[in-house]
Amino acid sequence: MAEHLTLIVSQSDSRDLIQWLAPDYECLLSKPDDELTADDELALILVDSRSLSQCDLAAICRQLRQAHSNVPMVVILEHDELDVRLNLYEAGCDDCLQAQALKELRGRIDRLAMNKIANDQLRMQLQQANEMAFLAMTGTSDLGVNIQFLLDSHHCTNLDELGMRLFQALRNYNLNCSLQLRSRFESKNMEANGMAKAMESSLLSACADKGRYVDFGRRSIMNYGRVSVLVKNMPVDDDKKYGAIKDNLFSLLQGADARIDALDNQKTLLLEGKLIREMAMQMRRLVDDVDEAQTVVMRDIADVVENISEQIENSMHVLGMDEVQEQKMRAISENAVQETTRIFNEGMTLDQNLRDFLSVAEHLLAKPHLPIEALQRLLESGQALQLKH
């Protein structure tokens, strides 16, 4: 069975050429005025000019080259003339061979066939290399878009800013999307114009817990954590692009979810800080009330002890005590007054320390950000107050 298909363009049967090419080449005869069609299996074109003396060889060669751009073409010449060979070469001819040298036909044609095979392999390798380079450039571009989004999302202070920044990244993929962002404090439904659509919003809410991907027709809902996106124009006819979009959008959704978590934590800390400030102010007022009441109680106790001591002193002369007994009672009375005064002074000192601590805490908590040094001093003062207590 012949391995190579050869087209012989001739006005005659060109039997000598067919004999020289047999058995490895299967020959097809065609006349110059026959309609030419591209054939991917064609391995060789032979133009027998011996039967085409009245025809324009250059025009025939150009017509053949236009129909078969990658097929080797050989012209059999009656006479070897340089001008003719130059014109034929310019018209797309790969080789010219004199009719008197047909014994060289097989060798030269075999070399052309081998060159064609090598060129086809090289062309296929170049095509694959171009495809890989294009995919690499596309992947690098997509990676740059995703990295830029991750960097920019760090500066978003609310869900509106985060959503618009995510839409800006999605525009690089030529996607028509609807977006839903869910935080612990609110849910945000958005289109690219910043507004929300009822139908899309309800679908995103219904499918938020239906798995990572919900595909229907040319649309796909993608979920990750607190982020859901509805893509309305998925390239279902291009499997590679379809998979690449899902992979790239997945990383975008991860970044958006992480930023929502950070915003939630930030808002929670602000609320906790506000609560602590309110509690500090309430504690300050409570301490003032307790301090005032404590002062009154301590003074009343001191007055009672002094009155008892004075009454004991005044009653000694009627109790019939000797001098030793009177000194003993007087010492007990004076010691009671001294201990009461000491305890009262210690309570005042502790109260003042607590006042100082609350005053510093109230001053620092009134600021949006606590300086590290001041926070450290506040912690140290709190530990010291605890030790004294």
Distance CA 146, CA 153 (A): 10
Q: Residue 318, Cβ neighbours under 10 Å: how many?
A: 7
Distance CA 292, CA 300 (A): 13
More confident residue, 78 or 181: 181
Question: Looking at residue 55, what is its pLDDT?
Answer: 64
163 neighbors 192 (Cβ within 8 angstroms)? no
More confident residue, 388 or 311: 311
Only one residue has tokens 């690449």, namely: 244
Give 53's pLDDT tier (boundaries 50, 70, 90): low
Distance CA 65, CA 71 (A): 8
Mean pLDDT of the 160-182 span: 87
Distance CA 42, CA 30 (A): 13
And the tokens for 293? 């009441």
- Say yes or no to pLDDT of 25 above 70: yes
Name the least confident of 271-285, 296-310, 353-367: 353-367
Q: Nearest-CA neighbor of 34 among 70, 8, 5?
A: 8
More confident residue, 381 or 51: 51
164 neighbors 194 (Cβ within 8 angstroms)? yes
Mean pLDDT of the 308-315 span: 75
